[in-house]
Amino acid sequence: MAYTEIKEKNGRRYFYRVKSIRKGEKVGKKRVYLGVDLDKDELSEKEKVADKELSLLSTLITSNEEKQLKKIKEEYTKQPKATEENRYESFVSLFIYDSTSIEGNTLTLQETSQLLFEQITPRKSLREINEITNHKEGFDYLLNYKGDLSREIILKLHKLVIKNTLKKELENQIGKYRTLQVYIRGTEWMPPKPLDVPKEMAYLLSWYTKNKNKLHPLILATYFHSAFETIHPFVDGNGRVGRLLMNFILRKNKYPMINIPNKKKYKYYKGLEESQVKGNLRPLIEFLFDLLKDEKIRF
């Protein structure tokens, strides 16, 4: 994500636009010089130009894809109100089943649906059962939330999703940015140090605020999701919370939510890794676009 860096020398302030680029286990930075002693308006204009140079995010969707997305949005917004509850139950069951399965939960789709909507509890561990019911609570919370993304909302969502699922020694990490270093299996890089997490999340939220009315919602949601998972702000639950936030952005912009099937998780991981390691967001956008295009349940 891009942010502005200020260096002071001989009483003057030099401004740079900076973007972190991960290469294997190392993180490098690409800088664009903005100017010296800039006022607020000058800085804002320079940042816009630099961001285009640094990311070219606005070109990540083809004109044909944009037309298809527009059609999807139009069809989605015209769905009858009478089917909303049925679509909600079908999508929630599938989304929560897949999102928790990706993280290792063993409840079947039928067990998930029965637990959520019939109060039939399967013979599985309490932790796995809590993961399912918590996920629905977090889903419903965002569904009824009328505001926009903020630090407070993200921490609240984490608390809802993770409560009663962690080991006792980690319970003090619930609803807070992590104070411990975490490690990701199967990747060559490490998430930021705990002390850097609040700053990185502040940068991400600032980026979101500046770009939410400039970028296509699919690009906005995809970039936010990739950056969120790169920061890995929590000791656990980053994937579940991240997928909820991605869908919150889509729905807020009147697009249907996306369900990532557990059976396609390796393609999903590959797309995430491509964006995190090489800074190439296109494969992840293509993956999510295909899911959105083929989604049978529009919710």
Residue 228 scores a pLDDT above 80: yes
Q: Mean of the pLDDT values across residues 264-292?
A: 93
Residue holding tokens 């939220």?
A: 205
Categorize the per-residue pLDDT at 10 as very low, low, confident or very high, splitting at 50, 70 and 90: confident
Q: What is the pLDDT of residue 82?
A: 95
Residue 68 scores a pLDDT above 90: yes
The pTM (predicted TM-score) of the whole model is: 0.82
Q: Which helix (H) or strand (E) holds 20?
A: strand 12-23
The closest of 176, 183, 226, 212 to 197, measured between CA atoms, is: 176
141-171 pLDDT, tens per residue? Answer: 999 999 999 999 999 999 999 999 999 999 9
Q: What is the pLDDT of residue 54?
A: 60
* CB 162, CB 156: distance < 8 Å: no
Average pLDDT, the chain: 91
* CB 281, CB 238: distance < 8 Å: no
Q: Mean of the pLDDT values across residues 20-48?
A: 75
* CB 16, CB 4: distance < 8 Å: yes
Query: Which residues, including other chains, have CB under 8 Å from residue 213's CB and lie 6 or more apart?
Result: none
Residue 99 scores a pLDDT above 70: yes
**Report for 11-15, 63-67, 155-159: range of highest mean pLDDT:** 155-159
Residue 30 scores a pLDDT above 80: no
**What amino acid occupies position 158?**
H
Residue 114 CA, chain-centre distance (Å), reads 28
Question: Active-site residues: which are they?
Answer: 232
For 157-170, b where at least 16 C-beta lie within 10 A, e where not — what string? bbbbbbbebbeeee
Q: What is the pLDDT of residue 105?
A: 97
Q: Mean of the pLDDT values across residues 103-113?
A: 97
Residue 188 scores a pLDDT above 90: no
Q: Which domains does the chain have, with CATH numbers?
A: 1-49 (no CATH), 57-294 (1.10.3290.10)
